[in-house]
A and B are shown apart, each in its own frame.
Chain A
Amino acid sequence: DVKVTQSSRYLVKRTGEKVFLECVQDMDHENMFWYRQDPGLGLRLIYFSYDVKMKEKGDIPEGYSVSREKKERFSLILESASTNQTSMYLCASSFALGKSTKNIQYFGAGTRLSVL
Protein backbone atom coordinates (compact mmCIF):
# COMPACT_ATOMS: atom_id res chain seq x y z
CA ASP A 1 0.00 0.00 0.00
CA VAL A 2 1.09 3.56 -0.64
CA LYS A 3 2.19 5.31 2.47
CA VAL A 4 2.42 9.06 2.90
CA THR A 5 3.71 9.99 6.32
CA GLN A 6 3.49 13.43 7.88
CA SER A 7 5.91 13.98 10.73
CA SER A 8 3.44 15.40 13.25
CA ARG A 9 -0.29 15.01 13.81
CA TYR A 10 -0.54 18.04 16.07
CA LEU A 11 1.77 21.00 16.38
CA VAL A 12 1.57 24.14 18.51
CA LYS A 13 3.87 27.05 17.65
CA ARG A 14 4.29 30.68 18.63
CA THR A 15 3.83 33.64 16.31
CA GLY A 16 7.08 34.43 14.55
CA GLU A 17 8.56 30.93 14.87
CA LYS A 18 9.97 29.11 11.87
CA VAL A 19 7.96 25.95 11.33
CA PHE A 20 8.86 22.87 9.32
CA LEU A 21 6.25 20.34 8.24
CA GLU A 22 7.73 17.17 6.80
CA CYS A 23 6.19 14.65 4.45
CA VAL A 24 7.63 11.37 3.23
CA GLN A 25 6.20 8.97 0.63
CA ASP A 26 7.35 5.44 -0.12
CA MET A 27 5.93 4.89 -3.62
CA ASP A 28 8.56 6.62 -5.74
CA HIS A 29 5.98 9.22 -6.78
CA GLU A 30 7.22 12.14 -8.87
CA ASN A 31 4.59 14.60 -7.67
CA MET A 32 4.13 15.85 -4.16
CA PHE A 33 1.64 18.44 -2.89
CA TRP A 34 0.94 20.58 0.15
CA TYR A 35 -2.62 21.70 0.88
CA ARG A 36 -4.24 23.53 3.71
CA GLN A 37 -7.78 22.77 4.73
CA ASP A 38 -10.03 25.23 6.51
CA PRO A 39 -13.73 24.93 7.40
CA GLY A 40 -15.91 26.14 4.56
CA LEU A 41 -12.96 26.64 2.20
CA GLY A 42 -12.13 23.05 1.28
CA LEU A 43 -8.62 22.11 0.18
CA ARG A 44 -6.40 24.83 -1.18
CA LEU A 45 -3.11 24.06 -2.87
CA ILE A 46 -0.10 25.82 -1.38
CA TYR A 47 2.77 24.38 -3.42
CA PHE A 48 3.52 21.32 -5.42
CA SER A 49 6.64 19.65 -6.76
CA TYR A 50 6.94 17.48 -9.86
CA ASP A 51 10.58 16.51 -9.42
CA VAL A 52 13.49 16.86 -7.05
CA LYS A 53 14.37 20.53 -6.55
CA MET A 54 11.41 21.55 -8.75
CA LYS A 55 8.44 23.42 -7.34
CA GLU A 56 5.46 25.40 -8.49
CA LYS A 57 3.26 27.80 -6.61
CA GLY A 58 -0.27 26.73 -5.94
CA ASP A 59 -3.22 28.98 -5.21
CA ILE A 60 -2.10 30.34 -1.82
CA PRO A 61 1.74 30.31 -1.62
CA GLU A 62 2.12 33.56 0.33
CA GLY A 63 3.85 33.04 3.66
CA TYR A 64 5.09 29.56 2.74
CA SER A 65 8.10 28.01 1.05
CA VAL A 66 8.96 24.40 0.22
CA SER A 67 11.97 22.17 -0.17
CA ARG A 68 12.41 18.94 -2.08
CA GLU A 69 15.98 17.72 -1.87
CA LYS A 70 15.09 14.04 -2.20
CA LYS A 71 12.35 12.42 -4.23
CA GLU A 72 10.60 10.89 -1.24
CA ARG A 73 10.55 13.99 0.98
CA PHE A 74 8.70 17.28 0.61
CA SER A 75 8.92 19.92 3.32
CA LEU A 76 6.65 22.88 3.91
CA ILE A 77 8.24 25.84 5.67
CA LEU A 78 6.51 28.70 7.45
CA GLU A 79 9.29 31.27 7.68
CA SER A 80 7.55 33.32 10.37
CA ALA A 81 4.36 31.70 11.58
CA SER A 82 1.29 33.85 11.98
CA THR A 83 -2.06 33.14 13.63
CA ASN A 84 -3.82 33.07 10.25
CA GLN A 85 -1.73 30.03 9.36
CA THR A 86 -3.51 27.97 12.01
CA SER A 87 -4.99 25.19 9.92
CA MET A 88 -4.96 21.53 8.94
CA TYR A 89 -2.10 20.82 6.53
CA LEU A 90 -2.31 17.85 4.18
CA CYS A 91 0.47 16.36 2.11
CA ALA A 92 -0.22 14.22 -0.95
CA SER A 93 1.73 12.44 -3.67
CA SER A 94 1.01 10.96 -7.09
CA PHE A 95 2.68 9.48 -10.14
CA ALA A 96 3.55 11.76 -13.03
CA LEU A 97 1.13 11.62 -15.95
CA GLY A 98 3.79 9.94 -18.05
CA LYS A 99 4.00 7.01 -15.61
CA SER A 100 0.32 6.62 -14.98
CA THR A 101 -2.81 7.64 -16.84
CA LYS A 102 -4.51 8.21 -13.49
CA ASN A 103 -3.49 11.23 -11.43
CA ILE A 104 -4.77 9.75 -8.19
CA GLN A 105 -3.39 11.49 -5.13
CA TYR A 106 -2.49 9.66 -1.92
CA PHE A 107 -2.75 11.68 1.26
CA GLY A 108 -1.05 11.71 4.61
CA ALA A 109 -3.07 11.82 7.84
CA GLY A 110 -2.63 15.58 8.16
CA THR A 111 -0.94 17.95 10.61
CA ARG A 112 -3.15 20.19 12.68
CA LEU A 113 -1.09 23.32 13.31
CA SER A 114 -2.03 25.91 15.90
CA VAL A 115 -0.14 29.19 15.92
CA LEU A 116 -0.60 31.12 19.17
Chain B
Amino acid sequence: SQQGEEDPQALSIQEGENATMNCSYKTSINNLQWYRQNSGRGLVHLILIRSNEREKHSGRLRVTLDTSKKSSSLLITASRAADTASYFCATGPPYGNNRLAFGKGNQVVVIP
Protein backbone atom coordinates (compact mmCIF):
# COMPACT_ATOMS: atom_id res chain seq x y z
CA SER B 1 0.00 0.00 0.00
CA GLN B 2 1.10 3.59 -0.56
CA GLN B 3 2.67 5.40 2.31
CA GLY B 4 3.44 8.97 3.15
CA GLU B 5 6.94 9.79 4.27
CA GLU B 6 7.59 12.96 6.14
CA ASP B 7 10.84 14.92 5.99
CA PRO B 8 12.52 16.14 8.17
CA GLN B 9 11.85 13.73 10.97
CA ALA B 10 12.43 16.17 13.83
CA LEU B 11 12.37 19.94 13.98
CA SER B 12 13.16 22.31 16.81
CA ILE B 13 12.28 25.99 16.42
CA GLN B 14 11.77 29.14 18.46
CA GLU B 15 8.29 30.42 19.20
CA GLY B 16 7.20 32.81 16.46
CA GLU B 17 9.20 31.09 13.71
CA ASN B 18 7.62 29.14 10.87
CA ALA B 19 7.79 25.36 10.71
CA THR B 20 7.77 23.49 7.41
CA MET B 21 7.36 19.75 6.98
CA ASN B 22 7.36 17.74 3.79
CA CYS B 23 5.68 14.52 2.80
CA SER B 24 6.20 12.31 -0.22
CA TYR B 25 4.13 9.40 -1.45
CA LYS B 26 4.39 6.76 -4.13
CA THR B 27 1.06 6.12 -5.84
CA SER B 28 -2.02 7.99 -7.06
CA ILE B 29 -4.17 9.60 -4.40
CA ASN B 30 -7.65 11.01 -3.92
CA ASN B 31 -6.55 13.36 -1.18
CA LEU B 32 -3.76 14.02 1.30
CA GLN B 33 -4.39 14.83 4.94
CA TRP B 34 -2.32 16.14 7.82
CA TYR B 35 -2.89 15.09 11.43
CA ARG B 36 -1.37 16.25 14.71
CA GLN B 37 -0.63 14.07 17.71
CA ASN B 38 0.17 15.48 21.10
CA SER B 39 2.35 13.32 23.28
CA GLY B 40 0.59 10.14 24.40
CA ARG B 41 -2.70 11.05 22.75
CA GLY B 42 -4.66 10.16 19.61
CA LEU B 43 -4.33 11.89 16.26
CA VAL B 44 -6.38 14.96 15.40
CA HIS B 45 -7.22 15.88 11.81
CA LEU B 46 -5.84 19.26 10.73
CA ILE B 47 -6.44 19.75 7.04
CA LEU B 48 -7.31 17.87 3.85
CA ILE B 49 -6.25 18.77 0.34
CA ARG B 50 -7.75 17.05 -2.68
CA SER B 51 -5.66 15.78 -5.59
CA ASN B 52 -7.01 18.53 -7.88
CA GLU B 53 -6.04 21.31 -5.43
CA ARG B 54 -2.61 22.90 -5.20
CA GLU B 55 -2.82 24.91 -2.01
CA LYS B 56 -5.08 25.20 1.00
CA HIS B 57 -5.14 27.39 4.09
CA SER B 58 -6.64 26.92 7.51
CA GLY B 59 -5.78 29.52 10.14
CA ARG B 60 -1.99 29.40 10.59
CA LEU B 61 -1.71 26.27 8.45
CA ARG B 62 -0.83 26.23 4.79
CA VAL B 63 -0.70 22.99 2.81
CA THR B 64 0.60 22.59 -0.72
CA LEU B 65 0.30 19.57 -2.97
CA ASP B 66 2.36 18.79 -6.06
CA THR B 67 0.95 15.65 -7.64
CA SER B 68 3.59 15.65 -10.38
CA LYS B 69 6.27 15.29 -7.71
CA LYS B 70 4.03 13.25 -5.40
CA SER B 71 4.80 15.55 -2.51
CA SER B 72 3.12 17.86 -0.03
CA SER B 73 4.27 20.40 2.50
CA LEU B 74 2.72 21.69 5.70
CA LEU B 75 3.65 25.16 6.88
CA ILE B 76 2.79 26.37 10.36
CA THR B 77 3.25 30.12 10.61
CA ALA B 78 4.07 32.04 13.78
CA SER B 79 4.51 28.87 15.79
CA ARG B 80 3.45 28.63 19.43
CA ALA B 81 4.58 26.35 22.24
CA ALA B 82 1.20 24.60 21.92
CA ASP B 83 2.17 23.52 18.38
CA THR B 84 4.71 21.12 19.91
CA ALA B 85 3.51 17.75 18.64
CA SER B 86 4.09 15.05 16.04
CA TYR B 87 2.65 15.71 12.60
CA PHE B 88 1.61 12.94 10.23
CA CYS B 89 0.63 13.02 6.61
CA ALA B 90 -1.83 10.44 5.33
CA THR B 91 -2.89 9.62 1.80
CA GLY B 92 -6.25 8.36 0.65
CA PRO B 93 -6.50 6.07 -2.41
CA PRO B 94 -8.34 7.24 -5.55
CA TYR B 95 -10.87 4.41 -5.32
CA GLY B 96 -12.16 1.64 -3.13
CA ASN B 97 -12.19 1.63 0.65
CA ASN B 98 -11.46 4.37 3.11
CA ARG B 99 -8.05 3.26 4.24
CA LEU B 100 -5.45 5.91 4.81
CA ALA B 101 -1.72 5.28 4.56
CA PHE B 102 0.13 7.20 7.27
CA GLY B 103 3.71 8.40 7.26
CA LYS B 104 6.04 7.84 10.19
CA GLY B 105 5.50 11.27 11.65
CA ASN B 106 7.48 14.45 12.10
CA GLN B 107 8.22 15.69 15.60
CA VAL B 108 8.12 19.45 16.08
CA VAL B 109 9.31 21.16 19.25
CA VAL B 110 8.54 24.84 19.67
CA ILE B 111 10.74 26.47 22.28
CA PRO B 112 9.07 29.31 24.21
Chain A interfacial residues counted at CB < 8 A: 30
Q: How far is the CA of A82 from the CA of B97 in the complex (A)?
A: 31
A4 to chain B, nearest CB (A): 7
Pairwise interchain contact A31-B102, C-beta atoms closer than 8 A:
no
How distant is the Cα of A31 from the Cα of B100 in the complex, in angstroms? 12
**Is the CB–CB distance between B48 and A104 below 8 Å?**
yes
The size of the chain B interface, using a CB distance under 8 A, is 23
A104 to B92, CA, bound (A): 9
CA distance A92 to B105 in the complex (A): 17
Complex Cα–Cα for A96 and B2 (A): 20
Q: Are B42 and A45 in contact (CB under 8 A)?
A: no
Report which A residues bind B (CB closer than 8 A).
Answer: 4, 31, 33, 35, 40-43, 45, 48, 50, 56, 58-59, 90, 92, 94-97, 102-110, 112
Extra contacts, 10 of them, besides A42-B102, A59-B1, A96-B98 (Cβ < 8 A), are A33-B99, A48-B99, A50-B97, A50-B98, A103-B30, A103-B98, A104-B33, A105-B43, A107-B42, A108-B42
